[in-house]
Structure 1
Amino acid sequence: MKKTFYSNGKLLITGEYVVLDGAKALALPTKFGQNLIVEESNNNLIHWKSYDHDGSVWFEETISFTSIIEKEKFAEIHNIKNTLIEILHEAYKLNSNFLTDANGYRITTELTFPKFWGLGTSSTLINNIAQWLEIDAYILLKNSFGGSGYDLACAQNDSAILYQLIEDRPVVETIDFHPDFTNKIYFVYLNKKQSSKEAIASYLEKQGIIANTIIKINAITTTVAHSKEAKEFALALQKHEIEMSKILELLTVQEALFEDFDGVVKSLGAWGGDFVLAISKENPTNYFKERGYTIVIPYSEMIL
């Protein structure tokens, strides 16, 4: 019997990094996501095949039940396999039945976005596995990858969310976010994928006393989430960039790459890679393409 599970991708609009320390974040689920297809097989093996958005296979491997139960670690060149084993091992600890009561599986994953875009290849996988095994996705994330979990909230919801960790527990509020100026918002890919793990590690090294920053970010998030005018929205994003620039000791993406842009550009998620948000009166596609950034996606084509 074939079972199919689906999870939405994500974009973090406010609260990057500081969401780990309890700041309130605004995140938007995307029209892109990932499928997980599970079929029964045999020999106590999992035959795993992962497809990119264009139908090409980017990962294929056979993993024994024993490898998962014992959390077997292979040579470094098999880092994707090792990561998958780690996730499945943590899933096994939460629900052992999927191995003890089965003969084997044929599992397929299908991304509907290019895997290098950073829209949640890992978070959609973890949420899909959690759906399949009927376990808590947040616990699975915490025990494997780590992170704030906002991406899981996007995977599970079809509308904008306000996300916050309160006493280390996720609090998710779905909100109606459809401002009149979304036709002025675009998402631009910076031509490189940023490692979330590395970016978080760098943040944790640099953070000082950030209680005051969290208060400011919370206020900015509220403003961004409820903005009625494009100018109010843009100015709030600009303030957010300045606050995070101080914490991270980095130039804002607009200062570093787009100083002459007529509008506001804001980093989304890990600074230095993946997507940025651009808001301007005029369609900025030509501006970015002239500078070598050819993937420019209007809000209506990206966000659910």
Structure 2
Amino acid sequence: MSVSFRSHGKLLLTGEYAVLDGAEALALPTRFGQTLTVEEGDTPGLAWKSLDHEGRVWFEAHFEDSEFDKNSGHPSGKDTRSILLGLLREALRVNPEFRSKISGRRALSRLEFPREWGLGSSSTLISNLAQWAGADPYVLLWNAFGGSGYDIACARADGPLTYRVQNQVPVAEPVLFDPPFKDHLYFVYLNRKQNSREAISAYKKNGAKQEGFLQRVTEITRAVARCSAQDEFNALLKEHESLLAGALQMQPVQEQLFPDFKGVVKSLGAWGGDFVLASGKGDIPAYFRNKGLDTILPYRDMIL
């Protein structure tokens, strides 16, 4: 007998960084996600295997039953095994009855997107673990990694949503965000890793000091969510980029890399890394291929 779970990946269209301080953000669950299948094993303990999007094993471990005991010490190190063991122990702390579901099991986790894309390999894993354990996924996330939790909201959502944290409680509300111009929207992978911690540090120094910053981000989020005209959509995204540029003391990605693009290029999530959203007219894929970028996904292929 086996059980299976699946969670969606995530992209944050508006509200990056500001969502940490209570601003409302527009979040987009992706068609790509991660699955977790658990079945009876033939040895004590938990045998774990993780596959990448091409079916290759990228992580494998075996956990003895004794490693889940309360007095077995805290997992040390930041390697994948220690992080996963910490998550499993936290799930046991939240729901001690989970113990009976771990021993003598084999778990197989499968990613549906390249790990480097930044669509939520950790958040989809946490969401799947929480479903298996009968635990609160937000508790697992915040105790393990921190963050706003919008990625957990996306993992369980059926479509776009607005997300905020109000009095330390996550509030996710579905929205009918289905822009009529979505055939002119593309997600482009920059293949540049951005240090999120440095950007968050810069935001904490500058963002909170801007009068009306959080309120304006929320207003832009709500306007984008109901937007039906691409020119208005582009103007809102451009203003959002300008606001974040001031908060992060960073140059917007379009000014850095794509100043000649006819439309708007907006950073998503960690500024300067992973994916950007391109909104414009004409042959957008050709423009970015000419820039040496070849991972270009139409909106309808990426977003639920």
- Do both proteins adopt the same fold according to a TM-score greater than 0.5, normalized to the shorter chain? yes
CA contact (8 A) 2:207 2:213 kept: no
Residues 205, 85 of structure 1: alpha-carbon distance in 2 compared, 3 angstrom cutoff: farther
Counterpart amino acid of residue 180 in structure 1: P
Determine whether 1:17 maps to 2:39: no
Distance 1:105 1:93 in 2: 19
Aligned residue number for residue 120 of structure 1 = 120
Counterpart amino acid of residue 174 in structure 2: T
Distance 1:210 1:12 in 2: 22
Aligned residue number for residue 92 of structure 1 = 92
Query: Deviation digits for residues 210-231 of structure 1, max 9, x if unmatched?
Result: 5611011011111111111000
Secondary structure, aligned partner of 1:13: strand
Secondary structure, aligned partner of 1:54: coil
CA contact (8 A) 1:116 1:192 kept: no
Distance 2:18 2:194 in 1: 17
Aligned residue number for residue 295 of structure 1 = 295
Aligned residue number for residue 73 of structure 1 = 75
Which TM-score applies when normalising by structure 2? 0.94
Aligned residue number for residue 272 of structure 2 = 272
Counterpart amino acid of residue 144 in structure 2: S
Matches within 5 A, 1:1-304: 1-41=1-41, 43-69=43-69, 70-74=72-76, 79-100=79-100, 102-194=102-194, 196=196, 199-210=199-210, 212-304=212-304
Residues 53, 140 of structure 1: alpha-carbon distance in 2 compared, 3 angstrom cutoff: same
Percent sequence identity over aligned pairs: 47
Residues 18, 65 of structure 1: alpha-carbon distance in 2 compared, 3 angstrom cutoff: farther
Residues 71, 223 of structure 1: alpha-carbon distance in 2 compared, 3 angstrom cutoff: farther
Secondary structure, aligned partner of 1:250: coil
Equivalenced residues, count: 302
CA contact (8 A) 1:8 1:154 kept: yes
Distance 1:18 1:179 in 2: 24
The two structures, once aligned, show a CA RMSD in angstroms of: 1.7
Which of 285-294 and 97-106 deviates more?
97-106
CA drift of 1:187 comes to 0.2
Q: Which runs of 5+ in 2 are unaligned?
A: none
CA drift of 1:205 comes to 5.0
